[in-house]
A and B are shown apart, each in its own frame.
Chain A
């Protein structure tokens, strides 16, 4: 354990509400206890409503010590604890992008013996993002999609009567918004060197009709005619031509999309599903309530796929209370709860920022409630247009790959290197990672 890992472990212990214990101590601590235990849950979403957690405790006897930790910080804590062979939590975040890594490192328990994989496929449209070589490493905890949002009022003010269906139309509409002075910087792209920029590139690449890596993880973006290459050119050009606010160069996704909420921009090409209900239609923090809508994502020749960006939850290998953790995951994924988290039972039961229910039954319950704007459209997209970012699942070295992606796209947008050079650098990193 290094200095940094050691220092982080202090924070982890505090966050998790317990002191670190060794692997053997953890094993001896009754991993299969269920009733009258307290489990530590660390997820990158705010806690479910207190009343719901209390109902869970009353029903199961399991108390939940819930820690909401920002996504990037949570990944660091998981890695530090696992590398130090130290208990961290009983339930923790398993992002789609981490599945390959966790399969290789064995930092999370396979869940196959607790969940029936064949029956899950029918209920969870994005379950494949959490399976690696037959091992289920996490259960989808939402159905996040990369979707396109537009401010319909701004588009109408620019004289745009029909929403764009192709990338060419979309780009022309953005230029019209700028030229007519409706919004001086109509497009939001979070260009800070962070994960949100990588996923934006994947979605634009999908809109150009391609993917960044093949099923054997070979780069598919090196040729100037490839979708990935064109996607990066589109992103960099949008910034350099002033379609994107200057300040977005240092804004991350969770900060950047406030631009659309404040009407400094009029569209996000690769937005997160659920942002209308949880950001743009929230009167206390938005100036565009009721103006923003989801549209089918414009592609090269029509509607593009919406890449799946789901979050999941799983059980760290050193969890103390595995059975109780399984019970919690099953409860969290109950369709009624999932629909409630997304807004089906009104604002008091919502988890702030929760995108969409992970399962079909939850999606149906949400649509039926008729309380969340755009839910029906999103449910359609989730069930029929959703596609995994990597056909073979995220590679184990995904974080290093993503690091190269966002660092180089950011540099290209900042004018520190050309698109060709950025592409070359990312390809070189892939070659190095593949060995």
Chain B
């Protein structure tokens, strides 16, 4: 069998690369040499892993955990440099943001972003992964091109797409007009809520789909060929094979790709800011948080909104993992 033969070759390579085992005496000398204070090297080396991860712990602690804890605490305080002093307000910030029509609109808009963003990213990512699953001439080049948007900052993508959507000289208008699908150039973003959100979500999907495609592709390439050969012997069509073999086996990857798309869509900011400024038509929770915090200087309400967005992200991500994730093992 082709798969097994490949596995054997891999084992031989690993064996060749593996260092020769040390003699018992040498191993003892290396790992159990008494320390300067009489403690065994094994015990002293027990600290090594902690020392190794300490920089990461400090980094994450300082840049993620500490600000998160502070955000949780300060979400319950009135913090507005224009009307000091800071004081405890309980759930006052939360009730204030919920009574703000701009915030309510941004919640509804973000729901659309999540819907469009997740659907587009997962479908396109899976499609690209399937197309690239089998080796073919030029696959490496295509893979590099597919990954390119992932490397671009969101702001740059927003600027590029603002030209593509431009109602005066944009490519989309030009193509649609030359195909006689529209009579005159159209304004795509800014007037209709769902259309604006869909087009902005498309820009973000363009950015994050490569990651989803890579995650799916990695999972696809771990599926043993024997399973496809068995399906083929059983007379399964391509569609049936994808539905009954491929999709079930890449569910862990789909769960990761979905969570990634969900997190990015819930936190969409750059594309919204560049393509639609602060208009409520397509504002997201993050763009509203930014304006409440840094323009209106209501930091307390900004923290409350940030906290709500974080909680929503965690809960939805856990939900997605519960529904989609299934452990896959090949024996």
Which A residues fall within an 8 A CB radius of B? 1-7, 10, 75-76, 79-80, 82-83, 101, 104-105, 107, 192-194, 245-247, 249-250, 252, 264, 396-397, 399-400, 403, 406-407, 410-411, 414-416
**The residue from A104, A107, A399 contacting B295, defined by CB atoms under 8 A apart:** A399
Using A83-B81, A250-B162, A407-B278 as known contacts, say yes or no to A2 and B71 having CB atoms under 8 A apart.
yes
Chain B hits for A80, CB < 8 A: 294
In the complex, chain B residues whose CB is within 8 Å of the CB of A410: 190, 277, 279
Q: How far is the CA of A104 from the CA of B281 in the complex (A)?
A: 32
Contacts of A83 in B (CB 8 A): 81, 297, 299
Residue among A4, A75, A411 having the largest count of chain B Cβ atoms under 10 Å: A4
Q: In the docked arrangement, what's the CA distance between A328 and B307, Å?
A: 42
| Contact in complex: A406, B278 (CB < 8 Å) | yes
**Are A192 and B294 in touch, CB under 8 angstroms?**
no
Structural contact, B296 and A2, CB atoms closer than 8 A: no
Given contacts A3-B68, A400-B295, contact A104 B82 (CB under 8 A): yes
**Contact residues, B271-324 vs A (CB, 8 A):** 275-281, 289-291, 293-297, 299, 302-303, 306
Looking across the interface, which residue of chain A has its beta carbon closest to that of B162? A250
B92: interface (CB < 8 Å)? no
Pairs A–B under 8 Å by Cβ, sample size 16: A3-B306, A4-B306, A5-B67, A6-B67, A76-B294, A79-B297, A82-B81, A105-B297, A193-B280, A246-B167, A246-B168, A246-B186, A249-B187, A249-B190, A414-B190, A414-B281
A415: chain B residues at CB < 8 Å are: 191
For residue B166, CB closer than 8 A to chain A, the reply is yes
Given known A2-B293, A414-B191, contact A246–B278 (CB-CB < 8 A)? no
B290, A4: Cβ atoms closer than 8 Å: yes
A250 touches B276 (CB 8 A): yes
A62–B67 CA distance with the chains assembled, in angstroms: 36
Interface residues on B, range: 35 or more
From A105, A250, A403, A407, contact of B275 by CB (8 A): A250
> Are B191 and A249 in contact, CB atoms less than 8 angstroms apart?
yes
* Given A250-B277, A414-B279, 15 new contacts (CB under 8 A): A3-B306, A6-B63, A83-B81, A83-B299, A104-B81, A107-B81, A192-B276, A193-B280, A194-B278, A247-B187, A250-B190, A399-B296, A400-B297, A403-B291, A414-B281
User: Across the A-B interface, how many residue pairs have beta carbons closer than 8 Å?
Assistant: 116
B228 close to chain A: CB less than 8 A = no
Chain A residues with CB under 8 Å of B259's CB are none
Q: Which of A5, A104, A193 contacts B277 (CB 8 A)?
A: A193
Query: B220 contacts the other chain (Cβ, under 8 Å)?
Result: no
Identify the 6 closest CB pairs spanning chains A and B, nearest first: A193-B279, A247-B167, A6-B67, A192-B277, A249-B190, A400-B296
For the complex formed, measure the closest distance between the CB of B308 and the CB atoms of chain A, giving whole angstroms: 13
Residue on A with the closest CB to B286?
Answer: A4
Contacts of A1 in B (CB 8 A): 67, 70
Contact A101 B280 (CB under 8 A): no
Q: Which residue of A lies closest to B187 (CB)?
A: A246
With both chains docked as a complex, state the minimum distance between the C-beta of A167 and any C-beta of chain B, in angstroms. 26
Which residues of chain B are within 8 angstroms of A82 by Cβ–Cβ distance? 81
In the complex, A141→B122 CA distance in Å? 51
Verify if B325 is at the interface (C-beta below 8 Å from A): no
Asked whether A403 lies within 8 Å of B70 as measured between CB atoms, the reply is no
User: Is B293 within 8 A of A411, CB to CB?
Assistant: no
Q: Confirm or deny: B189 has a beta carbon within 8 angstroms of a beta carbon on chain A.
A: yes
Q: Flag if A4 contacts B185 (CB, 8 Å).
A: no
Which single member of A4, A75, A76, A192 contacts B279 (CB below 8 Å)? A192
CB of B306, distance to nearest CB on chain A (Å) = 6
Nearest to B294 among chain A residues (CB) is: A76
Asked whether B280 lies within 8 Å of A407 as measured between CB atoms, the reply is yes
List residues of chain B with CB within 8 A of the CB of A411.
Answer: 279-281
Contact present for A2 and B303 (CB under 8 Å): yes
**Chain A residues with CB below 8 A from B280, complex form:** 193, 407, 411, 416
Contact string against A for B residues 164-200, beta-carbon threshold 8 Å, 1 for contact and 0 otherwise: 0011100000000000000001110111000000000
Instruction: Point out the residues of chain B lying under 8 angstroms from A194, CB to CB.
Output: 277-278
> How distant is the Cα of A408 from the Cα of B227 in the complex, in angstroms?
60
A-contact bits for B229-261, CB 8 A (1 contact / 0 none) = 000000000000000000000000000000000
User: Is B157 located at the chain interface by the 8 A CB criterion?
Assistant: no
Given contacts A105-B82, A407-B278, whether A246 and B185 have CB atoms under 8 Å apart is: yes
Check B168–A245 contact: CB distance below 8 A.
yes
Structural contact, B190 and A403, CB atoms closer than 8 A: no
In the complex the two chains form, what is the Cα distance from A371 to B70 in whole Å?
56
A254 to B67, CA, bound (A): 35
Judged by a CB distance under 8 angstroms, whether B74 is at the interface is: yes
Contacts of A193 in B (CB 8 A): 276-280
- Residues of A within 8 Å of B276, CB to CB, are 192-193, 250
Question: Which of A107, A247, A250, A403 contacts B296 (CB under 8 A)?
Answer: A403
Residue of B66, B191, B275 with most chain A CB atoms under a 10 A cut-off: B191
